[in-house]
Amino acid sequence: MRQFFKFVFASCLGSILALVVIVFFFAMAMGDRSAPPTVDDGSVLHLKLNYPVPELTDNVPQQQFSFSQRNTLGLDNVTRVIAHATGNDKIRGILIQTESVFMNPTTAYAIAEEIESFKESGKWVYAYGDYFNQSGYILASMADSIYLNPNGFVDLRGYGTVSPYFENFSKKTGIEFDVYFAGKYKSAIEPYYRTESSPENRFQTREFLDEYHQALAGHIADRRSLNTEVTDNLIFEGMPPRSDVCVNEGIVDRLLYEEDVKELLKETMDTRKLKLVDPKLYNQVYPKKKSSSPNKIAVVYAEGPVAFAGDDKGNINMKVYDRVFDGLIKNKSIESVVIRVNSPGGSSFTSDKFLKRIKDLQNAGKYVVASFSDYAASGGYYIAASADKIVAEPTTLTGSIGAYSMIPDFNKASVEHLGINWDTVGTGLQTFIYSTFIPRSERENEILQMSTEKTYEQFKKIVAEGRSMSVRQIEEIAQGRVWTGRDAVGVGLVDTLGGIQDAISVAAEEMEYDDYKTLKYPIIKKTFWEQLLENLDNAGAIEVNVEAPLPRIFTEEFRHTLNLIENACFEPQMRLPFHLVVN
């Protein structure tokens, strides 16, 4: 007994000491903040944005062993910071340094539009890069002058998708996939039973990639005063990795090192010290002011995959959004809601529940406008199908009205390669229908295919009802086909083109509001540990950034493939037919 109490006491003492250490570091971090951050006169807003930009600030999943995602400024605050800096006399200009940014074109164009407004106020904008990828150059092209490292390059080479196909893998390993899908364009499932893209998938992919290509060529031509045919050809041929070619073609203005550019800025501003202000710091110094207007418009950010369960940030799950919708329904002072969608879809079950809650809003008398960002496809479109108005960006990827299911079959691999046989005892004809080791019968395959087709039929009915069209009309534009926002207007899936501010204006106009304030949901709260790490980081007490050694695009693709298989085994999926990473 004495030994028992000894170990218990030692364990408790260790826990208490650990807690004391944590509190000590927390106090140090808090105490180190002798003065709040400020923005001095003659400052320059420094746009780097070298992180994946979410729609809503801090609405990102926290990766294990990675502390680099704290205080992740979202598109909502990036654009607000630029807009605020436009009228701030302390800000003289903007230095864009977006060498390698991880954002899709739609997000880049939204930020570029805000930079354009900044320039129109009479303030200057310069850009510098050791190199620029395509999304980074979309932002850099907004500058009055673009400076490039003498050894740098601009990586203009068009857009493309790369997807793995596993049919030969299945033949070699014996790991097979039973797939079920509805819609000839619903190609997320193709990699598991084909060796290459189907003609339908290749066609739809070519269509939206061409839209991206033309948008980029037109954007560069307009901002750099070049002929569109010239920029189109530059992108098609691919810019060679030579800085002198970039100058000769008018893509950049001068070749300078970073230190020389900063000296040039000092001369322009007639100052000895260059005061660069990070958007995150600016956002802390100038948080959004609370409006006194009694008119309120709620903006609900639905971003990330549609998940079946959990409450993680950065995905759409009902544990979080049920609370949001319950609060909005009870709040009589909110008469209009904008749903900002940036999702490739996912769980058919959760998609339907989310749609039901939007209908609950409408039944409570709320006017609902959907605003589409990079994606609002498959389940991402389903959740917004009943909205009173739908607004999309020209380069939004949307539609993908279809469904699929998949179950891996390890029986052959198990028996032939591992020598493991499986014996069963069951009480029903379909007891093992979802087994990954027992082959499915023809009848079981028919049942799973019918379940997938039922989800597809329901999807079409939901869209037909929401868009005031017939199911036959929806069938013609469905089949899992992906549309750009521009094309979606033509086929009736979207009402008008525009960004989130345009969608908010639609809601305000419907409510006849002359003035209003917006309320953002969900409210992103930091956990104790996230707050502690942020305070330590801000105090300069810690600098931790442990990242996977594998290339980002490989790890993202691998994670996406595993999630795709896992989710598709659980229920029919309404998801975009590929994982697209655009630079």
Residue 368 lies in a domain: no
The C-alpha atoms of residue 310 and residue 100 are separated, in whole angstroms, by 32
| pLDDT at 536 exceeding the cut of 80 | no
Q: Which residues of 160-194 are buried (b: 16+ CB within 10 A; e: fewer)?
A: ebebeebbebbeeebbbbbbbbbbebbbbbbbbbe
Return the CATH number at 102: 3.90.226.10
Q: Which one is predicted more confidently, 532 or 264?
A: 264
The C-alpha atoms of residue 526 and residue 57 are separated, in whole angstroms, by 11
State the DSSP code for 409. E
The C-alpha atoms of residue 528 and residue 535 are separated, in whole angstroms, by 11
- Quickly state the pLDDT bin for 573 (edges 50, 70, 90): confident
**pTM, 2 dp:** 0.86
Q: What is the pLDDT of residue 390?
A: 98
The DSSP element (H or E) to which 520 belongs, if any, is strand 517-521
The DSSP element (H or E) to which 447 belongs, if any, is helix 442-467
Q: Which of 157, 158, 155, 159 shows the shortest CA–CA distance to 246? A: 155
The C-alpha atoms of residue 396 and residue 382 are separated, in whole angstroms, by 15
Let me know the angle formed at the C-alpha of 55 by 49 and 60, rounded to the nearest 5 degrees.
Answer: 80
Render pLDDT for 66-86 as a digit per residue (tens, 0 to 9): 444 457 899 999 999 999 999
Domain with 86 in it: 43-156+239-285
Percent of the residues in the chain that have a pLDDT greater than 90, as a whole number: 76
Residue 179 lies in a domain: no
Q: What is the pLDDT of residue 553?
A: 46
Sign of CA dihedral 40, 44, 45, 50: negative
Give me the mean pLDDT over the 158-164 stretch: 92
Residue 143 lies in a domain: yes
Q: Which one is predicted more confidently, 546 or 149?
A: 149
Render pLDDT for 556-571 as a digit per residue (tens, 0 to 9): 555 555 565 556 555 6
Let me know the angle formed at the C-alpha of 325 by 324 and 328, rounded to the nearest 5 degrees.
Answer: 90
Q: Which residues, at least 6 apart from 164, have a Cβ–Cβ distance to it below 8 Å?
A: 191, 557, 561
| pLDDT at 2 exceeding the cut of 90 | no
Q: What is the pLDDT of residue 528?
A: 46
Distances (CA, A) of 99 to 108, 160, 327: 13, 20, 42
State the DSSP code for 288. P
Is residue 108 within 8 A of residue 145, CB to CB? The reply is: no
Strand partners, 339: 300, 370
What is the length of the chain? Answer: 583
User: How many structural domains compose the chain?
Assistant: 1
| Mean pLDDT of the chain, nearest integer | 87
Is residue 142 within 8 A of residue 115, CB to CB? The reply is: yes
Residue 151 lies in a domain: yes
Phi–psi pair at 303, nearest 5 degrees: -130, 150
Render pLDDT for 319-373 as a digit per residue (tens, 0 to 9): 999 999 999 999 999 999 999 999 999 999 999 999 999 999 999 999 999 999 9
Percent of the residues in the chain that have a pLDDT greater than 70, as a whole number: 83
Q: What is the pLDDT of residue 492?
A: 98
Give me the mean pLDDT over the 255-265 stretch: 96
Residue 581 lies in a domain: no
Residue 261 lies in a domain: yes
| pLDDT at 7 exceeding the cut of 80 | no
Rounded to 10 deg, the angle between the 105-120 and 75-86 helix axes is 10
Give me the mean pLDDT over the 3-19 stretch: 51
**Pair of tokens at residue 275:** 């005061």
Residue 263 lies in a domain: yes
Residue 49 lies in a domain: yes
The DSSP element (H or E) to which 503 belongs, if any, is helix 500-511
- Quickly state the pLDDT bin for 311 (edges 50, 70, 90): confident
Render pLDDT for 453-506 as a digit per residue (tens, 0 to 9): 999 999 999 999 999 999 999 999 999 999 999 999 999 999 999 999 999 999
Q: Which one is predicted more confidently, 423 or 68?
A: 423
Q: What is the pLDDT of residue 527?
A: 54
